[in-house]
């Protein structure tokens, strides 16, 4: 190892044969991070080069690319090996994570080259989420920078326990030991609170290869390992192999009428044929009958293995359930404290419903509270009501179903989650569960002796929630009023929740920002739910401009209970009517966040009833709703 001739005749090709392909340890995954010009991509290029992972045709392409895009004055620019996208080459920066592979005779490696710019923090988190180690580059001339601290914080947050502090560009400080030691001392001081398991500091010159693969003659004062030696020898410490068994169910395999296989990848511990297991969240128990693998079965399966289990008993087990050791099951909960990295272009709004995905389980839920944001540069706590792109905060989560989990610090697979926007389907958040706020086991809906059915029967009616949505001045209150009069005259028990009236009482503390509008709807939906439970026919007349909140409201009710009525009056008509003079005010700029003027309205896509009061009479509109009620 260590020959640096690109076209040398005597060198071996990429990769080196490994003795036992089936029993090898998994490749070491690491990321490189650091400030923009600290030489991350150059270091990766150098590592690939030293381990002979660069093919001749790639080297030839590199030579021609270096002429065209290079930043090294026509010399080979190794950064171009990893910055593979046209936009990256043209701008000379790394935008997205690149994964590269190399092997030496002692180990195999997957390196994720991650971008340093703050605007690409989410891409860095992507690379860090699967890494075991981070190489943090520091320019020997500049020492620790804001970026260095930020990246250290993100690396620690993502659960990386091993760090290499690569003090690069030592040639530019004439390989001065004092400079190196000062940087190392400053970093140890700064990083103490993060409790990394290992920190190895190495003086480097990535461009020329000093201390990358071979010890440098220019740093005689340094007696530690070279970078490659350190990567090859790194002991990751105890894995989750010895912990209690956990496996999320990904897929239920029904190969035949009598076969019901539970497929998944072991996230922790080992499982043996005959082991007693528990299914979460249901709590049902059984024993492992067989560990099915390709054309056979095996006695034992360990962490990281994809397997198929059959159980002794026929249980109701589905995708997203957790199969765990019976003796030491994990906590099951639906409310958590978590650390969250926001990755959405639109800010996070507390109370708004999102989809949460934890291992193989997808469950709707909300961020109920943003406790505080963390300043990524200083770690300081900041109060906030919303979270923007690339911000990190401590939040409380409330999920609609309980799930089994492990804290992220002990198991990334069982404690890491993503948040998905229900409309755009984008991944908007990455989070790490810290602990359960309340165990779901202690949380039971109080079963009352007199139920909704009984109350409704006494009233001889079917309870309903009739939800009117539309612009201000569309005629929601007028129509709801008229409907209530009709129902009342027929002897029905009703109640009308009107937007303005509720805002004068229950919701008087809320304004008209997006976050407050979400909370406004959440509260009124919960009140409507209680009233339906009481047996009433409830009319809700609220602008309720956002689809996601109306869907959240709908989600509180059983099928058929919730009737969405779209009061579809064109904005020109509403503005002409302007019964409360609000449009005029909004146009004059005296009223902010007014729906239709400077705040959006998302029309329903499939409302049960679609009314057009601009062309139809109020009476015929009410008839349409009554018809729907049956």
Partner 1 sequence: MTCHPLESESIEILREAVAGAAKPVMLYSIGKDSSVMLHLARKAFYPATPPFPLLHVDTTWKFKEMYLHRARMVAESGLTLITHTNAAGLAAGITPFTHGSSHYTDVMKTEALKQALDLHGFDVVFGGARRDEETSRAKERIFSIRSSGHRWDPRRQRPELWQTYNTRIRAGESLRVFPLSNWTEPDIWRYIQQEQIPVVPLYFAKERPVVRRSGAWIQVDDERFPLAPGEAPQLRMVRFRTLGCYPLTGALESEATTLEAILDETLRARTSERQGRLIDSDQVGSMEKKKWEGYF
CB 35, CB 145: distance < 8 Å: yes
Nearer to partner 1, 171 or 305 (CB): 305
Q: Is 435 in the site for partner 1 (CB under 8 A)?
A: no
Element (H, E) at 180: helix 177-191
Q: Is 298 in the site for partner 1 (CB under 8 A)?
A: yes
Tell me which of 220, 251, 276, 400 binds partner 1, using CB under 8 A: 251
Q: Is 242 in the site for partner 1 (CB under 8 A)?
A: no
Binding segment toward partner 1, per CB under 8 A, in 30-38, 197-205, 297-305, 517-525: 297-305
| Closest CB 9 distance from partner 1, rounded Å | 9
Contact positions with partner 1 (CB under 8 A) in 79-108? 81-87, 89, 95-101, 103
Q: Is 68 in the site for partner 1 (CB under 8 A)?
A: yes
Catalytic residues: 544
Q: Is 389 in the site for partner 1 (CB under 8 A)?
A: no
Nearer to partner 1, 17 or 600 (CB): 17
Q: How long a stretch of residues is the chain?
A: 630
Which residues have C-beta within 8 Å of that of residue 387, sequence separation ≥ 6? 340, 342, 347, 348, 370, 373, 393
What is the three-class DSSP state of 30?
A: strand
| Euclidean distance between CA atoms 165 and 202, whole angstroms | 6
Q: Is 215 in the site for partner 1 (CB under 8 A)?
A: no
| Euclidean distance between CA atoms 81 and 42, whole angstroms | 9
The C-alpha angle with vertex 46 and arms to 40 and 48, in degrees rounded to 5, equals: 105
Nearer to partner 1, 52 or 150 (CB): 52
**Max Cα-Cα span within the chain:** 98
Contact positions with partner 1 (CB under 8 A) in 11-40? 11-18, 21-23, 26-27
Distances (CA, A) of 234 to 26, 112, 159: 13, 18, 17
Binding segment toward partner 1, per CB under 8 A, in 160-168, 350-358, 437-445, 465-473: 350-358
Q: Is 71 in the site for partner 1 (CB under 8 A)?
A: no
| Closest CB 392 distance from partner 1, rounded Å | 14
The C-alpha angle with vertex 319 and arms to 318 and 321, in degrees rounded to 5, equals: 75
Q: Count residues near partner 1 (CB under 8 A).
A: 84
Contact positions with partner 1 (CB under 8 A) in 122-161? 122-123, 125-126, 129-130
Nearer to partner 1, 241 or 584 (CB): 241
Q: How far apart are the first and last CA of the chain?
A: 82
Nearer to partner 1, 291 or 541 (CB): 291
The C-alpha angle with vertex 218 and arms to 215 and 219, in degrees rounded to 5, equals: 65
Contact positions with partner 1 (CB under 8 A) in 575-604? none
Distances (CA, A) of 544 to 83, 348, 500: 46, 18, 12
| Closest CB 214 distance from partner 1, rounded Å | 22
Contact positions with partner 1 (CB under 8 A) in 260-279? 261, 263-265
Q: Which of 538, 536, 527 is nearest to 458 (CA)?
A: 536
Q: Is 465 in the site for partner 1 (CB under 8 A)?
A: no
Nearer to partner 1, 298 or 453 (CB): 298
Binding segment toward partner 1, per CB under 8 A, in 118-126, 222-230, 232-240, 378-386: 118-126
| Closest CB 518 distance from partner 1, rounded Å | 21
| Euclidean distance between CA atoms 347 and 493, whole angstroms | 41
| Euclidean distance between CA atoms 212 and 3, whole angstroms | 12
| Euclidean distance between CA atoms 65 and 74, whole angstroms | 9
Nearer to partner 1, 28 or 474 (CB): 28
Contact positions with partner 1 (CB under 8 A) in 403-432? 412-413, 416-418, 420, 424-427, 430
């Amino acid at each position: 190892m260590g020959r640096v001739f690109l076209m040398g005749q005597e060198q071996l090709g990429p990769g080196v044969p490994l003795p036992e392909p089936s029993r090898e340890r998994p490749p070491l995954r690491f990321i490189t991070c650091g400030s923009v010009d600290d030489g991350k991509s150059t270091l990766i290029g150098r590592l690939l080069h030293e381990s002979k992972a660069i093919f001749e045709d790639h080297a030839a392409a590199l030579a021609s690319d270096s002429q065209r895009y290079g930043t090294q004055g026509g010399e080979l620019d190794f950064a171009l090996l990893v910055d593979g996208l046209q936009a990256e080459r043209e701008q000379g920066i790394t935008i997205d994570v690149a994964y590269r592979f190399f092997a030496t005779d002692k180990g195999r490696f997957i390196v994720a080259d991650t971008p340093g710019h703050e605007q690409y923090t989410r891409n860095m988190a992507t690379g860090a989420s699967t890494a075991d180690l981070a190489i943090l580059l520091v320019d020997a001339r500049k020492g620790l920078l804001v970026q260095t601290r930020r990246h250290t914080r993100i690396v620690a947050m993502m659960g990386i326990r091993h760090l290499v502090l690569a003090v690069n560009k030592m040639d530019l400080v004439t390989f001065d030991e004092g400079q190196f030691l000062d940087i190392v001392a400053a970093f140890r001081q700064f990083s103490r609170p993060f409790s990394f398991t290992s920190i190895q500091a190495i003086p480097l010159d990535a461009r020329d290869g000093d201390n990358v693969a071979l010890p440098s003659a220019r740093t005689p004062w340094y007696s530690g390992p070279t970078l490659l030696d350190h990567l090859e020898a790194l002991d990751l410490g105890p894995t989750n192999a010895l912990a209690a068994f956990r496996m999320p169910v990904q897929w239920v395999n029904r190969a035949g009428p009598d076969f019901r296989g539970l497929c998944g990848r072991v996230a922790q511990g080992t499982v043996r044929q005959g082991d007693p297991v528990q299914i979460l969240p249901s709590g049902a128990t059984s024993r492992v009958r067989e560990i099915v693998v390709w054309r056979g079965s095996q006695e034992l399966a360990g962490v990281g293995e994809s397997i198929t289990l059959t159980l002794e008993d026929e249980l109701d087990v589905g995708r997203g359930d957790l199969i765990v050791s019976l003796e030491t099951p994990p906590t099951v909960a639906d409310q958590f404290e978590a650390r969250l990295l926001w990755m959405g272009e639109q800010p996070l709004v507390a109370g708004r419903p999102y989809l949460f995905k934890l291992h193989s389980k997808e469950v709707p839920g909300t961020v109920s509270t943003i406790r505080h944001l963390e300043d990524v540069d200083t770690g300081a706590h900041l109060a906030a009501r919303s979270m923007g792109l690339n911000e990190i905060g401590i939040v409380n989560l409330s999920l609609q179903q309980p799930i089994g989990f492990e804290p992220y610090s002990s198991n990334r697979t069982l404690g890491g989650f993503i948040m998905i926007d229900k409309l755009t389907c984008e991944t908007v958040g990455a989070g790490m569960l810290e602990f359960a706020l309340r165990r779901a086991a202690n949380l039971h809906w109080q079963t009352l002796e007199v139920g909704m059915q009984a109350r409704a029967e006494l009233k001889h009616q079917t309870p309903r929630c009739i939800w009117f949505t539309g612009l201000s001045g569309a005629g929601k209150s007028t129509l709801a009023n008229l409907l209530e009069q009709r129902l009342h005259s027929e002897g029905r028990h009703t109640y009308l929740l009107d937007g303005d009236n509720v805002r004068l009482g229950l919701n008087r503390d809320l304004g008209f920002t997006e976050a407050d509008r979400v909370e406004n709807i959440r509260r009124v939906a919960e009140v409507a739910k209680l009233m339906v439970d009481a047996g009433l026919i409830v009319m809700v007349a609220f602008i309720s401009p956002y689809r996601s909140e109306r869907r959240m409201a709908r989600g509180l009710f059983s099928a058929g209970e919730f009737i969405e009525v779209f009061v579809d009056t064109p904005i020109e008509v509403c503005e002409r009517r302007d019964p409360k003079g609000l449009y005029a005010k909004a146009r004059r700029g005296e009223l902010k966040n007014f729906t239709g003027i400077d705040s959006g309205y998302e029309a329903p896509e499939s409302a049960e009833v679609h009314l057009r009061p601009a062309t139809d009479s109020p009476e015929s509109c009410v008839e349409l709703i009554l018809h729907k009620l049956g």
